[in-house]
Amino acid sequence: MKKKALITGITGQDGAYLTELLLSKGYEVHGIKRRSSLFNTDRIDHLYQDPHDEDQRLVLHYGDLSDSTNLIRIIQQVQPDEIYNLGAMSHVKVSFDTPEYTANADGIGTLRLLEAIRILGLEKKTKIYQASTSELYGLVQAVPQSETTPFYPRSPYAVAKMYAYWITVNYREAYGIYACNGILFNHESPLRGETFVTRKITRGVAKIAMSLQEKLYLGNLDAQRDWGHAKDYVEAMYLILQQEVPEDYVIATGVTTRVREFVRMAFAEVGITIEFKGEGVDEKGYVTHCAHPDFQLEEGTEVVAVDPKYFRPTEVELLIGDPTKSKTKLGWEPKYDLQGLVKEMVAADVELFQREKLLKNSGYQIKNQYE
């Protein structure tokens, strides 16, 4: 019998990679997508199957984590063996603007799924993975952060995810549901949303190199993150649901890097060396050398500046995970390092903007997009 998985957040970065992985393992994959006024399935369109095909392996359902009746109906219809709850308002800065919605989708949304399992009597059949986050650690209590490090959330997003974390643990203990938290540290890819810092940087670098943008404005350049590749991290999600006993796991690389260093590495990928000068809001990045034959940037050109509008009311300064448990118990090991990740992301954005540049050179108007 084919296993069935239901993925919330299937249209997101992780949803797309996880769908590919589960399809490759022979699963029938069901996903919940939100109605939107524009197409929002860009990341999974390559996996699209004509709904008239007989052997339907990828099925999308309209739904929302804020709608219990919808979730109950979909779960009743699908009868999934595994649910991966990846759906969330996942942007930390935006959660300060939409705190109530974030609590509803990211916190109560998890409760709605767990209750659906209970209401439908699926406690013994359906396993559930909760997309927990290193943001739970927030204000540094100890490093590296492991499964036993205390939480101190620093944003409405992290507080909502803290509720989701504990309600997952509680339903496991109270009702015997196979329910687990993956406490995942930041993971990126060419599919990363454009407003998260790594993708904003790789897009900015590609556009600056191709003279489509002059400057990259960023917030806190000192923040330190433990960045991995989303492809590696969806493997861990899958493994977490394949164990004998349901448990919670930290998924991280164990290496931390400042935002400033990520910027430097991304520019280096297009042959541009930059140097930072100044402090705080006055810090700027200047070109010191441009070695790429196709990109012409003069020495001394200011390409990075700080804009305080990207600062957060409360910041998470340092994240560095301890993946010992996932390595020993799950046998999980990341295949990518940061250098490989940066290389892949910059190459993908250079390719993307080469197409844009071609259009511009042919007289087409290029759209502005707001970050």
- Under the rule (CB under 6 A), what is the footprint of ligand NDP? 8-9, 11-15, 32, 34, 36, 40, 64-66, 86-90, 105, 131, 133, 184, 186-187, 193
Q: In angstroms, what is the minimal distance from the CB of 87 to ligand GDR?
A: 12
Of 86 and 241, nearer to ligand GDR (C-beta) is 86
- Is 90 a binding residue for ligand GDR by CB under 6 A? The answer is yes
- Is 276 a binding residue for ligand GDR by CB under 6 A? The answer is no
Of 165 and 210, nearer to ligand NDP (C-beta) is 165
* Whole-angstrom distance, CA of residue 180 vs CA of residue 182: 7
The 8-class DSSP code of residue 142 comes to: S
The 8-class DSSP code of residue 107 comes to: I
Residues 62, 35 contacting (CB under 8 angstroms): yes
Q: In angstroms, what is the minimal distance from the CB of 16 to ligand NDP?
A: 8
Active site residue 157: yes
Active site residue 133: yes
* Whole-angstrom distance, CA of residue 196 vs CA of residue 13: 11
Q: What residues contact 71, with CB distance under 8 A and at least 6 apart?
A: 32, 63, 65, 112, 113, 116
- Is 110 a binding residue for ligand GDR by CB under 6 A? The answer is no
Q: In angstroms, what is the minimal distance from the CB of 161 to ligand NDP?
A: 7
3-state SS assignment for residue 134? helix
CB-nearest residue to ligand NDP: 12
Task: Look at the chain and count its residues.
Answer: 371
3-state SS assignment for residue 332? coil
Contact letters for ligand GDR, residues 203-232 (x by CB under 6 A): ---------------xxx--x-x-------
Which partner from the list ligand GDR, ligand NDP, none does 197 bind, CB cut-off 5 to 8 Å by kind?
ligand GDR
Q: Exactly one of 11, 19, 110, 133 is catalytic; which is it?
A: 133
Helix (H) / strand (E) element for 136: namely none
3-state SS assignment for residue 24? helix
Closest alpha carbon to 24 in 52, 47, 41, 1: 47
Residues 121, 135 contacting (CB under 8 angstroms): no
Of 133 and 256, nearer to ligand NDP (C-beta) is 133
Of 88 and 201, nearer to ligand NDP (C-beta) is 88
Torsion on CA atoms 145, 146, 148, 149, rounded to nearest 10? 0
Of 135 and 322, nearer to ligand GDR (C-beta) is 135
Scanning residues 111 to 170, which ones bind ligand GDR (CB under 6 A)? Answer: 133-135
What the block records as the tokens of 369 is: 């997009």
Of 157 and 274, nearer to ligand NDP (C-beta) is 157
Of 190 and 271, nearer to ligand GDR (C-beta) is 190
Q: What angle (nearest 5°) sits at the alpha carbon of residue 19, between those of residues 82 and 203?
A: 135
Which range binds ligand GDR by CB under 6 A, 142-150, 294-302, 309-317, 336-344?
A: 309-317
- Helix ranges (H only) for the chain are 13-24, 68-78, 92-95, 99-102, 109-119, 156-175, 197-209, 230-240, 259-269, 324-325, 338-361
- Is 92 a binding residue for ligand GDR by CB under 6 A? The answer is yes
Which range binds ligand GDR by CB under 6 A, 41-49, 202-210, 289-297, 310-318?
A: 310-318
Q: In angstroms, what is the minimal distance from the CB of 220 to ligand GDR?
A: 4
Residues 28, 77 contacting (CB under 8 angstroms): no
Q: Which residues are catalytic?
A: 133, 135, 157
Can you give the binding site for ligand GDR, defined by CB under 6 A?
A: 90, 92-93, 133-135, 185-186, 195-197, 200, 218-220, 223, 225, 259, 310, 312, 315-316
